[in-house]
Structure 1
């Protein structure tokens, strides 16, 4: 979706695997529930592994439930407020710090995964991360040059502000452009001329 140029035709090959019967039964059950063929499901599982799964441990990633992440951020803000810390200033500083750290981490991850570091490889890795994390994202091009990136995360306003800061960094550092970014409680929308 965020790749600048993707092949529209994919080549496929046939191959035979020997699978444990219980694994095969579970895969078939899952395919039936999703109203897809076993072949499609196996392709999805293998693609997810190739695009993301094989890198998770190497990059030090660990699955964290959304509710835990959003409550951690919200509780941090409540603790700050209860301890007399000026909330808006603290929040802004925490978001800027977190976005800078995330950008540094993304740089290392993208270099490791894609062997290059440019705008499109970063956006591609971010899309893969959101996909495996259950975060809905979309990218469309309007008027031939305006790219609209939508992230629907359901993690609260603080996460929206973090996503805004991170995307601002990505577009400025890698494309030398300022993005027009708006946020809601659970979404971030970036429009950028590329």
Structure 2
């Protein structure tokens, strides 16, 4: 697949914005241009839809603490409901078709990079795509992720997927 040809465009930035972006680029050992492209790409791919998706920013520890008092069946059930409803709503809000490609896009980058639920590792095996969603939040979070992803596949594609879980992540194949 060819990389699209870049476009050059000059913009004026507030000095404070420029200075903060320059510091951030330096911290990440990235060029200023690369950092700005990452920020703008994230906006185009997801952030512009946030007001329509009813997001609330919550620290992960709060969610884990809330789940601690719930039994596994309740965590799984609520995660399946949330993942199924949110996947469908997000895909439709973004103007995408309800298909395998848009659901894969929902998992990575939306769930993993933009919602920051896990780090996503993807690879091909036997003609299928394998996903490993890795995190450091324990077995309860893996159970939640399992339900969230399963609910998304069930609600968007009417498909059951097999999810392997450990305390450090989940793995599934599509």
With the length of structure 1 as denominator, give the TM-score of the two structures. 0.79
1:17-48 deviation per Cα after TM superposition (whole angstroms, max 9, x unaligned):
11101110111111111111110010011011
Matched, 1:102 2:96: no
In structure 2, the gaps of 5 or more residues are none
Which runs of structure 2 are paired with 1:142-161 in the superposition (5 Å)?
Answer: 142-143=125-126, 145-161=127-143
| Aligned residue number for residue 63 of structure 2 | 69
> Cα RMSD between the aligned structures?
2.0
Structure 1: distance between partners of 2:13 and 2:20 = 11
Matched, 1:19 2:2: no
Structure 1: distance between partners of 2:57 and 2:152 = 24
Matched, 1:137 2:86: no
| Aligned residue number for residue 52 of structure 1 | 46
Q: Which moved more, 1:7-16 or 1:43-52?
A: 7-16
Structure 2: distance between partners of 1:97 and 1:152 = 21
Matched, 1:189 2:142: no
With the length of structure 2 as denominator, give the TM-score of the two structures. 0.87
